[in-house]
Amino acid sequence: MNIFKKITNFFKEVKLELNKVSWSTRQELVSSTVVVITVTFIMAAFIGVIDIILSHILRAVFR
35, part of any domain: yes
User: Considering only CA atoms, which of 48, 11, 39 is closest in space to residue 3?
Assistant: 11
Instruction: Look up the domain containing 50 and give its range.
Output: 24-63
* Domains held by the chain: number: 1
pLDDT score recorded for residue 1: 64
pLDDT in tens, 21-57: 999 999 999 999 999 999 999 999 999 999 999 999 9
pTM of the model: 0.65
Q: Of all helices (H) and strands (E), which one includes residue 38? A: helix 26-61
Write the DSSP symbol of residue 1. Answer: -
pLDDT (average), residues 4-19? 94
14, part of any domain: no
49, part of any domain: yes
Vertex 21: Cα angle to 36 and 33 (nearest 5): 10
